Amino acid sequence: MKAYSRDLRLRALDALDLGRPRPEVIQRFGVSTATLTRWRRRQRETGSLAQSPRPGPPAVKTTGLQAALVSRLHEQPDATLEEHCQWWEATSGIRVSHATMSRAITRDLGWTRKKARTANLS
């Protein structure tokens, strides 16, 4: 799940500071009581509302994939996920799944998977 934006955190806590009832703030901003409590504690203890770092090591499989994909997508915009996976394996020596390649293309780079229309309209 994606972290809440810093702006939303600030607006929710500002609403509480202005005396808005907690149930109203929860409903208006779509967060839980526990989330508001956690944000307030983090603000008090650290002085910041920055999101917590995500646990775990950095991804090894996709290191360099996004940078290489930009030129690849411009050269081969109609290639299938399988073709992109095969290309990445040949380039880096690391096999990635269709799901990993799809995430790298759509979420990280913002490309859609629409293909060019074929001329066969018989």
Q: Which amino acid is at 12?
A: A
Whether residue 72 is found in the same domain as residue 41:
no
Q: Give me the domain span that covers residue 98.
A: 65-108
CB atoms within 10 A of CB 100: 18
Whether residue 69 is found in the same domain as residue 102:
yes
Whether residue 42 is found in the same domain as residue 69:
no
- Span 26-38, mean pLDDT? 94
pLDDT above 60 (res 38): yes
Domain assignment of residue 54, yes or no: no
Whether residue 100 is found in the same domain as residue 70:
yes
d(CA 10, CA 76): 43
- Span 9-14, mean pLDDT? 94
| Tens-place pLDDT, residues 56-115 | 887 777 888 888 888 888 888 888 889 999 999 999 898 999 998 988 888 767 777 666
- The pTM is what? 0.51
Whether residue 40 is found in the same domain as residue 72:
no
d(CA 12, CA 29): 7
Return the C-alpha torsion angle 65, 70, 74, 78, nearest 10: 40
Domain assignment of residue 53, yes or no: no
